[in-house]
Amino acid sequence: MISEQHQLMASQANSGARMTRRNFLQQTAALGIGGSAALTLLNACGSPLASSGTHVTYWNLFGGGDGVRMVQMENNFSQSHPNINLEAVTLAWGAPYYTKLAMAAAGGRPPDVAISHMTRVPIYASENLLDPFDIDELARYGITEDKFLPAIWQRAHYNGKLYTIPLDTHPFVLYYNTDICQKAGLLNADGSLKPLNSPEVLMDAFKRAQQVTGPGTFGLAAEAQAITAWRLFYTLYSQLGGEVLSADGKTLTMDDTKAEQVLSFMADLTLKSKVASPFQDYAGAVALFGSGKAAFHWNGEWEVTTFLAQKDLHFNMAPFPQLYDTYRVQADSHAFILPHQLAVDPARRAGALEYISYMLKNSQNWAAGGHIPAYLPVTESDAYKQLKPQSNYASVAANAVLDPIAWFSGSGSELENQAGAAFQGVFTGAMTSTQALQQFKAALQKLLAIPAFN
């Protein structure tokens, strides 16, 4: 979260006051950040390296396969734009990244452009830690409203101003083993998965697949804790029309009946039907599906490269099924932001926009890692449609439901942590659906009582 010290730093930056090195170190000390760590952060946000061209600094949080792919795209940009010196910095995913980004913007030494999850943007914009994009200026780089889905473009705004340019949508999806599903009679004649359009039909499919794989296996491989528990709950709860928080993120609006209906279904997976393990962690779930000991897998689409690397694994991907009234799927978006600058350098801003434009127009490379490109000229291209299995779930982007807006919400947030802590008890039988829901609601009420941004 952004504390009162962060707000003070933002206030000084927005008032036009120059934050001195001494003031910066004093305020980071108040935040509990040691002197050496603060100096490291200060230096990371320091003056650009000497060069003959326009210098552009870019921060991101991508690791693993995403990190490798991002570096490839950065290198391609640099090779095709010798007049722009791109300095890319990768920081630790999650809270460390967002804390450093907030401090850099509040301290007046931010990067020229950075990546943020879309769910984090409204809070940073409300704290004046971001600069809005100039619509007319963006148009000169081919970035216009018609190049994005309406829902995605709308989410990119805060208080009527455009604060982010979406790069992708990364949803919760369904992986399935085609060999097992074929033997279980779950595939159509063309090899596609038959509709799984109700809780009963889905559970039956898991059981039939488990009969094929035999003793010691499961129909479904899914993490029974942490963030996956939240993604599953929020997907199904949203399909029932449920909302967790009010639009302003200040009031709990949980529908207990709908929430308990979803939690009861989740408990059925492990306790009654026993088609999934109640103690599965993330890595174990990935390994279980990859080894052919489970026919189905629920996860983010980013694990596609993991499974493609296993040549003996025959699998496909599909959108998460619609089990209830309205089709919704939990997701988030990686998006470009402009951290607040005390004084905008026109050349560096132009370089940042050129970089964003290049990454959007070349996001076919990014799509290979599983994410759905937000830039419609890419998602509507023949090249993307032929990218399999990644393009199979592209339609989900129009039905994505992002985590509710609150200072404690968003990808890698305390909301997701508290949901995982409560809901994993449903999988193991340690708590009833009612008990788990009450624990989650109590945790949210405590978070709502903290006046982080008031």
**Are 147 and 243 within one domain?**
no
Give yes or no: residues 345 and 293 share one domain: no
275 burial (CB, 10 Å; 0-12 / 13-18 / 19+) is buried
CB hemisphere CA count around 273 (13 angstroms): 24
> Are 271 and 217 members of one domain?
yes
Q: Same domain, yes or no, for 154 and 300? A: no
Residues 232 and 416: their CA atoms lie apart, in Å, by: 11
In a 3-state reduction of DSSP, which class is residue 312? coil
Distance CA 379, CA 394 (A): 8
User: E strands, 320-371, where?
Assistant: 329-332, 334-339
pLDDT classification of 354: cutoffs 50, 70, 90: very high
Instruction: Please give the model's pTM, rounded to 2 decimal places.
Output: 0.86
Long-range contacts of 254-259 (CB under 8 A, 24+ apart): 254/437, 254/441, 254/444, 256/437, 259/233, 259/437
CA dihedral 313, 319, 320, 326 (to 10 degrees): -170
* Greatest Cα-to-Cα distance within the chain, rounded to the nearest angstrom: 70
Q: What is the pLDDT of residues 155-210, one digit of tens each?
A: 999 999 999 999 999 999 999 999 999 999 999 999 999 999 999 999 999 999 99
Please tell me the total count of domains within the chain.
2
Query: Residue 379: CB partners within 8 Å, gap ≥ 6?
Result: 367, 372, 373, 394, 397
Q: Is the predicted pLDDT of residue 31 greater than 90, yes or no?
A: no
Q: Would you say residue 410 lies in a domain?
A: yes
Answer yes or no: are the C-beta atoms of 118 and 335 closer than 8 Å: yes
Nearest-CA neighbor of 355 among 159, 152, 102, 84?
A: 84
Averaged pLDDT for residues 83-97: 93
C-beta of residue 184 within 8 angstroms of C-beta of residue 178: no
Residue 388: inside a domain: no
Residues 224 and 344 occupy one common structural domain: no
Contacts of residue 103, defined as CB under 8 A and 6 or more positions apart, other chains included, come to 6, 9, 28, 31, 41
pLDDT band at 17; cut points 50, 70, 90? very low
Give the pLDDT confidence score for residue 52 in this predicted structure. Answer: 53
Residue 15 pLDDT greater than 60, yes or no: no
- What are the tens digits of pLDDT across the range 284-316? 999 999 999 999 999 999 999 999 999 999 999
Note whether residue 391 is domain-resident.
no
- Is the distance from CB of 328 to CB of 237 less than 8 angstroms? no
**pLDDT of 21 higher than 70:** no
The boundaries of the domain holding residue 246 are: 173-331+403-448
Cβ atoms 174, 296 nearer than 8 A: yes
Indicate which CATH number applies to the domain containing 301: 3.40.190.10
Which among 239, 240, 244, 302 has a CA at the least distance from the CA of 422? 244
**381 lies in a domain?**
no
b/e per residue 325-364 (b: at least 16 CB within 10 A): eebbbbbbbbbbbbbbbbeeeeebbbbbbbbbbbbbbbbe
Asked if residue 199 and residue 348 are part of one domain, the reply reads no
- DSSP codes joined into one string, 378-396: HHTSHHHHTSTTGGGGGGG
The C-alpha atoms of residue 38 and residue 446 are separated, in whole angstroms, by 30
pLDDT value, residue 108? 87
Q: What is the pLDDT of residue 362?
A: 97
The predicted pLDDT at position 313 comes to 97
The answer to whether 388 and 315 have CB atoms below 8 angstroms apart is no
Shared-domain flag, residues 137 and 78: yes
Is residue 389 domain-resident?
no
Same domain, 132 and 179: no
- The answer to the question of residue 386 being in a domain is no
Burial of 308 (0-12, 13-18, 19+ CB in 10 A): middle
Q: Are strands 168-177 and 294-300 parallel, antiparallel or unpaired?
A: antiparallel
In a domain, 378, yes or no: no
Same domain, 142 and 208: no
Q: Is residue 384 part of a domain?
A: no
Whether 301 and 435 map to the same domain: the answer is yes
- Cα separation values, 53 from 111, 215, 281, 348, Å: 17, 64, 48, 10
Task: Quote the CA–CA distance of 158 and 135 in Å, as a whole number.
Answer: 14
Over the chain, what is the mean pLDDT?
88
Token match 């963030």: residue? Answer: 227
High-pLDDT (> 70) share of the chain, %: 88
421 neighbors 227 (Cβ within 8 angstroms) = no
Q: Quick one: tokens of 223?
A: 């993490």
Q: Are 322 and 242 contained in the same domain?
A: yes
d(CA 186, CA 193) in angstroms, rounded, equals: 6
> Is residue 183 located within the same domain as residue 253?
yes
pLDDT of amino acid 46: 37
